[in-house]
Amino acid sequence: MIDTISPLHSTQLSVAAFLKQSKQWRNSVLGAFCFSADAVENQMQADTNVPCMHVAMQRLDAGDSVCEVWHGSGQLTQGQSGAIHYRHDEDVLLGVIELPEAMFAADMGKTPLQQATESAYRQIFALLDALRYPYLFRCWNYIADITTHSFGLERYGQFNLGRQDAFLACGRDVMGNAPAACALGFGQSTSVQGPLTTLSIAFLAGRVAPRNIENPRQISAYQYPQQYGPRSPTFSRASLVRLGQNEVLFISGTASIVGHATLHPGNAVAQARETIANIQAVLAEANRLASQPKFDLASLYYTVYVRRPADLAQICAELAHCVGNAFTAVYLQADMCREDLLLEIEATAVHTMRVIQR
Protein backbone atom coordinates (compact mmCIF):
# COMPACT_ATOMS: atom_id res chain seq x y z
CA MET A 1 0.00 0.00 0.00
CA ILE A 2 1.31 3.43 -0.87
CA ASP A 3 0.51 5.97 1.78
CA THR A 4 0.12 9.55 0.61
CA ILE A 5 3.29 11.14 1.87
CA SER A 6 3.53 14.88 2.12
CA PRO A 7 7.20 15.69 2.46
CA LEU A 8 6.44 19.17 3.74
CA HIS A 9 9.81 20.55 4.67
CA SER A 10 11.83 23.73 4.52
CA THR A 11 15.24 24.58 3.15
CA GLN A 12 17.28 27.73 3.56
CA LEU A 13 19.23 29.41 0.80
CA SER A 14 20.23 32.85 -0.39
CA VAL A 15 17.98 34.87 -2.67
CA ALA A 16 20.57 34.56 -5.44
CA ALA A 17 20.62 30.76 -5.07
CA PHE A 18 16.82 30.67 -5.07
CA LEU A 19 16.66 32.56 -8.35
CA LYS A 20 19.18 30.15 -9.93
CA GLN A 21 17.05 27.07 -9.24
CA SER A 22 15.29 25.31 -12.08
CA LYS A 23 11.71 25.96 -12.97
CA GLN A 24 10.91 22.39 -11.97
CA TRP A 25 12.38 22.99 -8.51
CA ARG A 26 10.39 26.20 -8.14
CA ASN A 27 7.24 24.35 -9.10
CA SER A 28 7.61 22.23 -5.95
CA VAL A 29 7.82 25.32 -3.73
CA LEU A 30 4.79 26.28 -1.68
CA GLY A 31 6.26 29.61 -0.70
CA ALA A 32 9.34 31.46 0.46
CA PHE A 33 10.12 33.84 3.31
CA CYS A 34 12.94 36.21 2.40
CA PHE A 35 14.86 38.08 5.04
CA SER A 36 17.09 40.84 3.77
CA ALA A 37 17.98 44.37 4.76
CA ASP A 38 17.44 45.60 1.22
CA ALA A 39 14.54 45.19 -1.09
CA VAL A 40 16.17 43.45 -4.08
CA GLU A 41 14.02 40.36 -3.83
CA ASN A 42 10.73 42.25 -3.90
CA GLN A 43 10.80 41.11 -7.50
CA MET A 44 10.90 37.44 -6.52
CA GLN A 45 7.19 36.91 -6.41
CA ALA A 46 6.65 38.67 -9.71
CA ASP A 47 9.51 36.80 -11.39
CA THR A 48 8.76 33.33 -10.12
CA ASN A 49 5.07 33.21 -9.18
CA VAL A 50 6.06 31.70 -5.85
CA PRO A 51 4.21 33.21 -2.87
CA CYS A 52 6.94 35.23 -1.27
CA MET A 53 7.08 37.22 1.94
CA HIS A 54 9.74 39.87 2.25
CA VAL A 55 10.89 40.92 5.71
CA ALA A 56 13.33 43.80 6.18
CA MET A 57 15.68 42.02 8.56
CA GLN A 58 19.43 41.74 8.30
CA ARG A 59 20.96 38.28 8.36
CA LEU A 60 23.74 38.28 10.93
CA ASP A 61 25.61 34.99 10.57
CA ALA A 62 26.48 34.78 6.88
CA GLY A 63 25.77 36.43 3.58
CA ASP A 64 23.25 39.22 3.62
CA SER A 65 19.99 37.45 2.93
CA VAL A 66 18.25 34.17 3.48
CA CYS A 67 15.14 32.55 2.07
CA GLU A 68 13.25 29.97 4.06
CA VAL A 69 11.64 27.87 1.37
CA TRP A 70 8.74 25.50 2.06
CA HIS A 71 8.32 22.56 -0.28
CA GLY A 72 5.13 20.64 -0.94
CA SER A 73 4.48 17.47 -2.87
CA GLY A 74 2.87 16.52 -6.12
CA GLN A 75 0.97 18.97 -8.23
CA LEU A 76 0.67 22.39 -6.61
CA THR A 77 -2.19 24.81 -7.18
CA GLN A 78 -1.67 28.52 -6.77
CA GLY A 79 -3.97 31.47 -6.44
CA GLN A 80 -4.69 34.86 -5.05
CA SER A 81 -7.53 35.78 -2.76
CA GLY A 82 -7.80 39.38 -1.65
CA ALA A 83 -4.27 40.29 -0.62
CA ILE A 84 -3.24 36.66 -0.01
CA HIS A 85 -0.94 34.80 -2.38
CA TYR A 86 -1.08 31.07 -1.79
CA ARG A 87 -0.07 27.68 -3.06
CA HIS A 88 -1.26 24.32 -1.88
CA ASP A 89 -0.87 20.61 -2.41
CA GLU A 90 -3.46 18.04 -1.33
CA ASP A 91 -2.58 18.35 2.35
CA VAL A 92 -1.06 21.73 3.06
CA LEU A 93 -1.66 25.35 2.08
CA LEU A 94 0.93 28.11 2.45
CA GLY A 95 -0.18 31.73 2.21
CA VAL A 96 1.45 35.11 2.43
CA ILE A 97 -0.31 38.40 3.08
CA GLU A 98 1.34 41.81 3.18
CA LEU A 99 -0.82 44.79 4.10
CA PRO A 100 0.50 48.36 4.14
CA GLU A 101 -0.92 49.98 7.24
CA ALA A 102 -1.50 53.13 5.20
CA MET A 103 -4.47 51.29 3.62
CA PHE A 104 -6.31 51.83 6.89
CA ALA A 105 -7.33 55.06 8.60
CA ALA A 106 -7.74 55.26 12.36
CA ASP A 107 -11.48 55.11 12.84
CA MET A 108 -14.13 53.34 14.89
CA GLY A 109 -11.65 53.40 17.74
CA LYS A 110 -9.37 50.96 15.90
CA THR A 111 -5.81 51.86 14.99
CA PRO A 112 -4.48 51.23 11.45
CA LEU A 113 -2.27 48.35 12.60
CA GLN A 114 -5.16 46.81 14.53
CA GLN A 115 -7.39 47.02 11.45
CA ALA A 116 -4.65 45.66 9.17
CA THR A 117 -4.18 42.71 11.52
CA GLU A 118 -7.89 42.02 11.85
CA SER A 119 -8.33 42.27 8.07
CA ALA A 120 -5.37 39.95 7.40
CA TYR A 121 -6.64 37.24 9.74
CA ARG A 122 -10.22 37.55 8.52
CA GLN A 123 -8.95 37.08 4.95
CA ILE A 124 -6.87 34.10 6.06
CA PHE A 125 -9.81 32.37 7.78
CA ALA A 126 -12.15 33.06 4.85
CA LEU A 127 -9.64 31.48 2.45
CA LEU A 128 -9.03 28.46 4.68
CA ASP A 129 -12.79 27.88 5.02
CA ALA A 130 -13.38 28.30 1.27
CA LEU A 131 -10.58 25.95 0.18
CA ARG A 132 -11.17 23.52 3.08
CA TYR A 133 -7.80 23.71 4.79
CA PRO A 134 -9.46 24.57 8.11
CA TYR A 135 -6.57 23.99 10.50
CA LEU A 136 -4.02 26.73 10.99
CA PHE A 137 -0.70 25.06 11.92
CA ARG A 138 1.74 27.95 12.10
CA CYS A 139 1.76 31.74 11.61
CA TRP A 140 4.75 34.08 11.13
CA ASN A 141 3.95 37.70 12.03
CA TYR A 142 6.29 40.62 11.21
CA ILE A 143 5.41 44.08 12.47
CA ALA A 144 7.29 47.37 11.99
CA ASP A 145 8.21 49.29 15.14
CA ILE A 146 6.71 46.58 17.33
CA THR A 147 7.24 48.21 20.75
CA THR A 148 6.53 51.80 19.68
CA HIS A 149 3.47 53.40 21.26
CA SER A 150 0.84 55.10 19.14
CA PHE A 151 -2.82 55.91 19.73
CA GLY A 152 -2.14 55.32 23.42
CA LEU A 153 -1.17 51.67 23.01
CA GLU A 154 1.98 49.73 22.21
CA ARG A 155 1.86 48.51 18.62
CA TYR A 156 2.23 44.85 19.64
CA GLY A 157 -0.87 45.39 21.81
CA GLN A 158 -2.71 46.81 18.79
CA PHE A 159 -1.68 43.73 16.80
CA ASN A 160 -2.98 41.43 19.55
CA LEU A 161 -6.33 43.26 19.59
CA GLY A 162 -6.79 42.86 15.84
CA ARG A 163 -5.65 39.23 15.85
CA GLN A 164 -7.93 38.16 18.68
CA ASP A 165 -10.92 40.04 17.23
CA ALA A 166 -10.47 38.21 13.93
CA PHE A 167 -10.19 34.81 15.63
CA LEU A 168 -13.39 35.51 17.61
CA ALA A 169 -15.27 36.93 14.61
CA CYS A 170 -14.41 33.83 12.57
CA GLY A 171 -15.46 31.40 15.30
CA ARG A 172 -11.91 30.30 16.06
CA ASP A 173 -10.68 29.25 19.49
CA VAL A 174 -8.46 31.81 21.17
CA MET A 175 -7.52 29.38 23.93
CA GLY A 176 -6.22 25.87 23.55
CA ASN A 177 -6.33 25.46 19.80
CA ALA A 178 -4.36 28.48 18.66
CA PRO A 179 -1.63 27.95 16.04
CA ALA A 180 2.07 27.99 16.75
CA ALA A 181 3.37 31.45 15.90
CA CYS A 182 6.04 34.08 16.16
CA ALA A 183 5.71 37.87 16.24
CA LEU A 184 8.81 39.93 15.57
CA GLY A 185 9.55 43.55 14.89
CA PHE A 186 11.82 45.31 12.46
CA GLY A 187 12.82 48.82 11.58
CA GLN A 188 12.72 50.20 15.10
CA SER A 189 16.18 51.71 15.22
CA THR A 190 15.78 53.47 11.90
CA SER A 191 12.26 54.67 12.84
CA VAL A 192 10.91 53.49 9.52
CA GLN A 193 7.67 55.18 8.62
CA GLY A 194 5.30 55.33 5.69
CA PRO A 195 5.50 52.73 2.94
CA LEU A 196 7.69 50.34 4.92
CA THR A 197 5.17 49.94 7.74
CA THR A 198 3.73 46.89 6.10
CA LEU A 199 2.31 44.08 8.18
CA SER A 200 3.59 40.77 6.82
CA ILE A 201 2.04 37.45 7.77
CA ALA A 202 2.75 33.98 6.42
CA PHE A 203 0.87 30.86 7.40
CA LEU A 204 0.70 27.11 6.92
CA ALA A 205 -2.63 25.33 7.20
CA GLY A 206 -3.99 21.90 6.47
CA ARG A 207 -6.73 19.32 6.67
CA VAL A 208 -5.74 17.41 9.77
CA ALA A 209 -6.04 18.91 13.24
CA PRO A 210 -2.66 19.65 14.79
CA ARG A 211 -1.91 18.80 18.40
CA ASN A 212 -1.29 22.03 20.25
CA ILE A 213 1.42 22.02 22.85
CA GLU A 214 2.00 24.28 25.85
CA ASN A 215 5.08 24.75 28.01
CA PRO A 216 4.72 23.80 31.69
CA ARG A 217 7.42 26.36 32.58
CA GLN A 218 5.34 29.17 31.07
CA ILE A 219 1.84 30.52 31.49
CA SER A 220 -0.02 29.99 28.21
CA ALA A 221 0.25 33.18 26.17
CA TYR A 222 -3.53 33.36 25.89
CA GLN A 223 -3.62 33.65 29.68
CA TYR A 224 -0.99 36.37 30.07
CA PRO A 225 -2.06 39.04 32.59
CA GLN A 226 -3.25 42.50 31.45
CA GLN A 227 0.11 44.18 32.05
CA TYR A 228 1.23 42.92 28.63
CA GLY A 229 -1.69 44.53 26.82
CA PRO A 230 -5.48 44.63 26.82
CA ARG A 231 -5.80 41.40 24.81
CA SER A 232 -3.63 38.33 25.19
CA PRO A 233 -1.64 36.92 22.29
CA THR A 234 -3.31 34.10 20.38
CA PHE A 235 -0.78 31.30 19.94
CA SER A 236 0.30 27.95 21.32
CA ARG A 237 3.88 27.14 22.28
CA ALA A 238 4.09 24.51 19.54
CA SER A 239 1.99 22.47 17.15
CA LEU A 240 2.55 18.91 16.04
CA VAL A 241 1.12 17.80 12.71
CA ARG A 242 0.93 14.34 11.24
CA LEU A 243 1.06 14.25 7.43
CA GLY A 244 1.17 10.75 6.00
CA GLN A 245 4.33 9.13 7.31
CA ASN A 246 5.72 12.45 8.50
CA GLU A 247 5.43 14.33 11.73
CA VAL A 248 6.11 18.05 11.62
CA LEU A 249 6.82 19.99 14.80
CA PHE A 250 6.51 23.77 14.77
CA ILE A 251 7.98 25.40 17.88
CA SER A 252 6.74 28.97 18.30
CA GLY A 253 9.00 31.91 18.95
CA THR A 254 10.44 31.14 22.38
CA ALA A 255 12.13 33.58 24.72
CA SER A 256 13.55 33.94 28.21
CA ILE A 257 10.12 33.97 29.85
CA VAL A 258 9.22 31.83 32.85
CA GLY A 259 5.67 32.04 34.17
CA HIS A 260 4.84 35.28 32.39
CA ALA A 261 7.93 37.26 33.43
CA THR A 262 11.06 38.04 31.45
CA LEU A 263 14.13 36.58 33.14
CA HIS A 264 17.72 37.85 32.89
CA PRO A 265 17.13 41.35 31.49
CA GLY A 266 20.34 42.70 29.97
CA ASN A 267 22.05 39.29 29.88
CA ALA A 268 21.96 37.73 26.41
CA VAL A 269 23.86 34.59 27.39
CA ALA A 270 21.54 33.81 30.30
CA GLN A 271 18.51 34.55 28.09
CA ALA A 272 19.85 32.10 25.48
CA ARG A 273 20.25 29.41 28.13
CA GLU A 274 16.75 30.03 29.55
CA THR A 275 15.25 29.97 26.05
CA ILE A 276 16.84 26.59 25.33
CA ALA A 277 15.45 25.32 28.65
CA ASN A 278 12.02 26.44 27.44
CA ILE A 279 12.48 24.72 24.08
CA GLN A 280 13.62 21.58 25.90
CA ALA A 281 10.42 21.70 27.98
CA VAL A 282 8.30 22.09 24.83
CA LEU A 283 10.14 19.13 23.25
CA ALA A 284 9.38 16.99 26.30
CA GLU A 285 5.67 17.82 25.93
CA ALA A 286 5.79 17.16 22.19
CA ASN A 287 7.48 13.81 22.72
CA ARG A 288 4.60 12.62 24.90
CA LEU A 289 2.45 12.89 21.76
CA ALA A 290 4.99 12.11 19.04
CA SER A 291 5.63 8.67 17.64
CA GLN A 292 9.14 7.28 17.15
CA PRO A 293 11.73 8.67 16.69
CA LYS A 294 11.50 11.36 19.35
CA PHE A 295 12.42 14.99 18.76
CA ASP A 296 15.57 16.37 20.36
CA LEU A 297 17.44 19.68 20.40
CA ALA A 298 19.97 18.52 17.82
CA SER A 299 17.31 17.59 15.24
CA LEU A 300 15.71 21.05 15.03
CA TYR A 301 16.14 23.78 12.42
CA TYR A 302 16.47 27.05 14.30
CA THR A 303 15.83 30.67 13.48
CA VAL A 304 17.45 32.90 16.10
CA TYR A 305 16.29 36.51 16.28
CA VAL A 306 18.89 38.73 17.96
CA ARG A 307 18.21 42.30 19.06
CA ARG A 308 21.80 43.57 19.34
CA PRO A 309 24.26 42.34 16.68
CA ALA A 310 27.06 42.74 19.24
CA ASP A 311 25.56 39.83 21.23
CA LEU A 312 25.77 37.42 18.28
CA ALA A 313 29.08 35.69 19.09
CA GLN A 314 28.15 35.06 22.72
CA ILE A 315 24.69 33.79 21.79
CA CYS A 316 26.14 31.42 19.16
CA ALA A 317 28.65 30.11 21.67
CA GLU A 318 25.98 29.54 24.31
CA LEU A 319 23.71 27.72 21.86
CA ALA A 320 26.59 25.50 20.75
CA HIS A 321 27.22 24.77 24.41
CA CYS A 322 23.55 23.86 25.07
CA VAL A 323 22.68 22.12 21.79
CA GLY A 324 26.05 20.77 20.60
CA ASN A 325 28.06 21.93 17.65
CA ALA A 326 26.11 20.23 14.89
CA PHE A 327 22.88 22.15 14.60
CA THR A 328 21.34 24.27 11.87
CA ALA A 329 20.52 27.90 12.60
CA VAL A 330 19.98 31.17 10.82
CA TYR A 331 20.51 34.40 12.77
CA LEU A 332 18.51 37.54 12.04
CA GLN A 333 18.53 41.01 13.55
CA ALA A 334 15.07 41.74 14.92
CA ASP A 335 13.16 43.45 17.69
CA MET A 336 11.29 41.33 20.20
CA CYS A 337 7.82 42.29 21.41
CA ARG A 338 9.14 43.11 24.88
CA GLU A 339 11.91 45.68 25.27
CA ASP A 340 13.76 43.49 27.79
CA LEU A 341 14.00 40.45 25.53
CA LEU A 342 17.35 40.24 23.74
CA LEU A 343 16.59 37.18 21.64
CA GLU A 344 13.86 34.82 20.53
CA ILE A 345 14.27 31.38 19.00
CA GLU A 346 11.86 29.39 16.86
CA ALA A 347 12.41 25.91 15.52
CA THR A 348 10.98 23.31 13.18
CA ALA A 349 11.56 19.60 12.77
CA VAL A 350 10.25 17.07 10.28
CA HIS A 351 10.46 13.37 11.14
CA THR A 352 9.60 10.37 9.09
CA MET A 353 7.83 8.03 11.44
CA ARG A 354 9.46 4.69 12.03
CA VAL A 355 7.19 1.88 10.96
CA ILE A 356 6.64 -0.41 13.90
CA GLN A 357 6.25 -4.08 12.91
CA ARG A 358 3.55 -5.96 14.69
Positions marked active-site: 344
Q: Is 239 in the site for ligand 3EB (CB under 6 A)?
A: no
- Size of site (CB under 6 A) for ligand 3EB: 12
Bond into 293 cis (ω within 30):
yes
Query: How many whole angstroms separate alpha carbon 32 and alpha carbon 305?
Result: 18
Q: Is 235 in the site for ligand 3EB (CB under 6 A)?
A: yes
CB 57 within 8 A of CB 330: no
Q: Is 181 in the site for ligand 3EB (CB under 6 A)?
A: yes
| Chain CA centroid to CA 11, Å | 15
Q: Is 55 in the site for ligand 3EB (CB under 6 A)?
A: no
| Chain CA centroid to CA 208, Å | 19
Burial tier of 22 (Cβ tally within 10 Å: 0-12, 13-18, 19+) = exposed
List the one residue from 143, 253, 272, 276 that touches ligand 3EB (CB under 6 A).
253
Q: Which residues pair with 35 in a beta bridge?
A: 55, 66
Question: Which is nearer to ligand 3EB, 50 or 94 (by Cβ)?
Answer: 94
Binding range to ligand 3EB, per CB under 6 A, among 123-131, 198-206, 247-255, 309-317: 247-255
CB 96 within 8 A of CB 85: yes
Binding range to ligand 3EB, per CB under 6 A, among 57-65, 73-81, 252-260, 285-293: 252-260
Distances (CA, A) of 54 to 27, 58, 195, 271, 286: 19, 12, 14, 28, 30
Q: Is 125 in the site for ligand 3EB (CB under 6 A)?
A: no
One character per residue 330-349, x = contact with ligand 3EB (rule: CB under 6 A): -------x------------
Q: How far is the CB of 240 from ligand 3EB (least distance, A)?
A: 16
Q: Is 252 in the site for ligand 3EB (CB under 6 A)?
A: yes
Q: Is 182 in the site for ligand 3EB (CB under 6 A)?
A: yes
List the one residue from 30, 255, 272, 342 that touches ligand 3EB (CB under 6 A).
255
Q: How far is the CB of 182 from ligand 3EB (least distance, A)?
A: 5
- Maximum Cα–Cα distance for the chain, whole Å? 63
List the one residue from 29, 166, 257, 343 that touches ligand 3EB (CB under 6 A).
257
Burial tier of 92 (Cβ tally within 10 Å: 0-12, 13-18, 19+) = buried
Q: Is 92 in the site for ligand 3EB (CB under 6 A)?
A: no
Q: How far is the CB of 180 from ligand 3EB (least distance, A)?
A: 8
CA atoms within 13 A on the CB side of 55: 31
Binding range to ligand 3EB, per CB under 6 A, among 48-56, 75-83, 125-133, 176-184: 176-184
Query: How many whole angstroms separate alpha carbon 309 and alpha carbon 302?
Result: 17
CA atoms within 13 A on the CB side of 185: 26
Question: Which is nearer to ligand 3EB, 10 or 141 (by Cβ)?
Answer: 141
**Closest-CA residue to 239 (of 89, 86, 347, 353):** 347
Question: Which is nearer to ligand 3EB, 197 or 252 (by Cβ)?
Answer: 252
Which residues ranging from 13 to 42 are in contact with ligand 3EB (CB under 6 A)?
none
Question: Which is nearer to ligand 3EB, 92 or 183 (by Cβ)?
Answer: 183
CB 232 within 8 A of CB 222: yes
One character per residue 192-221, x = contact with ligand 3EB (rule: CB under 6 A): -----------------------------x
**Closest-CA residue to 336 (of 269, 270, 271, 242):** 271
Binding residues for ligand 3EB, rule: CB under 6 A, are 141, 181-183, 221, 233, 235, 252-253, 255, 257, 337
